[in-house]
């Protein structure tokens, strides 16, 4: 069984099924966007760096317009392979690798991935990646800030939420939408990182991205009448009608 599940044919089949399912979710949910004119303002800035929290990887591509070329940073794990195959069928190119908190970044393909993301942005591809590092949910790392500094491209925080969904009991509070509900796509203010930014400025901008992602996730869940299961304690607010 292990040999079968690790085979390329099995992974391609499962990745294709995931893609088709996500397509169904996208088609059968009625999405609202905030701000309503987000594409009008972000379109001329392309290519941008789309920032998301871990756990949003199933649905973040819903925010991509069909005409936008996109590449996404995906881990080198077995689960990452399924994600890469699914995204390929959804029109998003995978860049394999990730940062490594407390370990040699080269062991996870971080340096190579950074080069590939810079090349993608130069080729006018939007780059999508998680702002937080593995096992440290919703704390923005410095990787996305460094990418913005080196590329000169703006960071756009993005949150995508559906009213009907499965919330997993995982470290990253992963969520996958279900069909026939309503959804929200919320984008935060763009963040530019100057080429000559010093360490203090970089930290300020890192915190700005983190705070923006927290805020837009709270807002997205609010728009679909839910609470964000991964929200930080000091940000949680009661929904109308709750005791």
pTM of the model: 0.89
* Amino acid 110: pLDDT: 73
* DSSP class of 17: H
* Amino acid 77: pLDDT: 73
Q: Do residues 184 and 39 lie in contact, with contact meaning Cβ atoms separated by under 8 Å?
A: no
pLDDT tens-digit series, residues 31-72: 999 999 999 999 999 999 999 999 888 899 999 999 999 999
C-alpha angle with apex 51: 49 to 57, nearest 5 degrees? Answer: 115
Element (H, E) at 34: strand 30-34
75 pLDDT band, cuts 50/70/90, is confident
Alpha helices in the chain, H assignment, sequence order: 2-5, 8-28, 38-42, 78-89, 110-122, 143-151, 199-223
Half-sphere exposure of 170 (CA within 13 A, CB side): 13
Question: In 48-191, which ranges are E strands?
Answer: 49-52, 70-74, 92-96, 126-130, 155-162, 165-167, 175-177, 182-187
Q: Do residues 73 and 147 lie in contact, with contact meaning Cβ atoms separated by under 8 Å?
A: no
C-alpha angle with apex 183: 127 to 27, nearest 5 degrees? Answer: 80
| Two tokens, residue 178 | 């279900």
Establish whether the linkage from the previous residue to 69 is cis, with ω within 30° of 0. Answer: no
CA-derived radius of gyration, the chain: 17
* Amino acid 103: pLDDT: 44
Report percent pLDDT > 90 for the chain. Answer: 72
Q: Assign 160 to helix, strand or coil.
A: strand
Q: Tell me the C-alpha distance between 41 and 33, whole Å.
A: 13
pLDDT (average), residues 11-17: 94
Task: Check whether 239 has a pLDDT greater than 80.
Answer: no
pLDDT tens-digit series, residues 87-138: 999 999 999 886 555 444 444 557 888 999 999 999 999 999 999 987 788 9
Count Cβ atoms below 10 Å from residue 231 Cβ, excluding itself: 16
Length of the chain: 243
Phi, psi of 14 (to 5 degrees): -65, -40
């Amino acid at each position: 069984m292990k040999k079968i599940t690790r085979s390329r044919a099995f992974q391609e089949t499962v990745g294709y099924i995931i893609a088709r399912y996500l397509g169904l979710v996208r088609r059968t949910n009625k999405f609202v966007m905030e701000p309503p004119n987000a594409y009008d303002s972000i379109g001329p800035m392309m290519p941008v760096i789309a920032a998301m929290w871990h756990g949003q990887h199933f649905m973040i591509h819903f925010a991509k317009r069909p005409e936008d070329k996109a590449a996404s940073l995906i881990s080198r794990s077995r689960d990452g392979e399924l994600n890469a195959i699914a995204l390929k069928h959804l029109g998003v190119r995978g860049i394999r690798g990730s940062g490594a908190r407390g370990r040699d970044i080269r062991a996870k393909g971080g340096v190579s991935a950074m080069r590939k993301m810079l090349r993608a942005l130069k080729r006018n591809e939007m780059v999508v990646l998680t702002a937080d590092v593995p096992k440290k949910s919703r704390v923005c790392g410095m990787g996305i800030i460094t990418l913005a500094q080196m590329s000169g491209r703006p960071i756009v925080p993005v949150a995508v939420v559906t009213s009907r969904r499965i919330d997993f009991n995982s470290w990253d509070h992963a969520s996958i939408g279900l069909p026939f509900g309503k959804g929200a796509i919320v984008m935060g203010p763009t963040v530019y990182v100057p080429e000559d930014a010093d360490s203090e400025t970089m930290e300020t901008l890192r915190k700005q991205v983190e705070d923006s992602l927290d805020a837009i996730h709270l807002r997205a869940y609010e728009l679909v009448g839910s609470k964000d299961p991964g929200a930080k304690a000091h940000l949680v607010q009661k929904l109308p009608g709750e005791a």
